[in-house]
Amino acid sequence: MTPMLMALLPLRMALAEPPTQQALDAFPICVSDCITAGILEQSCDAADLQCICASDTLRAYLGACVGVSCTPAEALSARNITTALCHSSARSRSGQLVVVASTMTGLAVAFATARLVCRQWVVGSSLWLDDWLALGATGTIIASAFINIYGLAGHGLGRDIWTLSAGEITAVLRYFHTIAWLYFLDTALVKLSVIVFYLRIFPTVAVQRLLWGTFAVTCIWGATFIFVAVFQCRPIDHFWKHWDGMHQGSCVDANAVAWASAATNIALDLWLLAVPLWQLRTLQLHRKKKIGVALMFCVGIFVTVVSALRLQSLVTFAKTSNMTWDYYPACLWSTTEVTVGLMCACFPAVRQLLVKGFPRLGESVRTKTNGLYGHRRHGSTSKAVHSNQPGTRTTIIVDPEAHHQGVNESGIMVERTYHVLSNRTSTAP
């Protein structure tokens, strides 16, 4: 690791004065030598604390000197001492990570719960594969939230690395290694849930083949990057031990892995957005209804936007030496991405619950939504919808036994009953 942190700002370094000698004694020997040489070459007076602490030239000199003469651990210790001596304020954004992880995870769990409620009590059927995949994603997201709050933020992610102890630095990197592969698992499960949902609502053979191919590609994508995230260093523990420069091992280019995964992730998101929108053109719906259904699918674009924002956080990822500070944005956006993804995957069910509670919200596309999300498995159900035409009533029947009669199980049967009204008065013969 390149000792970055060596923006060392010595203070009262007048060698003849006791306070200065005490300050020098607090530093590792390699740092004291650099400080002594640096003071002699600067225009600041040795007793001028304000000048010394504000000197960019001295800071640059010490950074270069300490980088060559000291180990990373010694350099971090020196930076911590000089930060305190120059009364520099300690930065921390760990609390923000706790708030974001708690809030976004809570929302994601609420959406997943709404999905289960819709499936069990509104639709009245058992869980399908897409529901189980969404439940799996919910479990891994909850696990990630605990790691974010108690593992990463709790040990110092979001703070400068030189303000942490050696044990805290190692702990942060170890938890980060775990949450890295959990991110890929979360993302893959959410995508697979969406794909299986599409498989249920788009019965065309060509589209089914396309979606099964997408399912396979997503499985390969997830398995590949989970494997790379776990085994990116040899030995594995070199990931969280390499920071002190005292352990032997090697790691792959983490920046290349991060960019490759992010680019392919965004490509998959765009593909999963394009498939349903492309299929809308074949549906026999009024344009207004098509727009409504398209907007429901387009909520997934939020995931793509968050993925793009996360991509910005990877510009200097893995090339920084202040890891506990600079890894924070990647962790924050990854948490936001997976939770927003799960919420989008559960949105059709949430919408159906809202329509159930507030019927006026879904009058224009009620029949379409019922067909998209599900049907009752035991028994059939019907709902009367009165037509504007006098004497006519249309009954929508979602029939679980329809597939036995050669009708796709996610289809909708429509029964129309005509009531003939007559005002003619009969006369007796």
Which residues define the annotated binding site for heme? 48
Sign of the Cα pseudo-torsion (34, 36, 37, 43, in order): positive
Contact 144, 338 (CB under 8 A): yes
Contact 13, 24 (CB under 8 A): yes
List the structure tokens of 201: 């609502």
DSSP string across 211-234: HHHHHHHHHHHHHHHHHHHHSSEE
3-class SS at 223? Answer: helix
Relative to beta strand 250-251, strand 392-398 is: unpaired
**CB-CB neighbours of 75 under 10 Å:** 29
Cα Dmax for the chain: 136
Instruction: Name residues whose C-beta falls within 8 Å of residue 418's C-beta, 6 or more positions apart in sequence.
Output: 391, 392
Burial class (CB in 10 A: 0-12, 13-18, 19+), 61: buried
Q: How does DSSP classify residue 391?
A: T
Instruction: Name residues whose C-beta falls within 8 Å of residue 142's C-beta, 6 or more positions apart in sequence.
Output: 105, 109
Which residues define the annotated binding site? 48
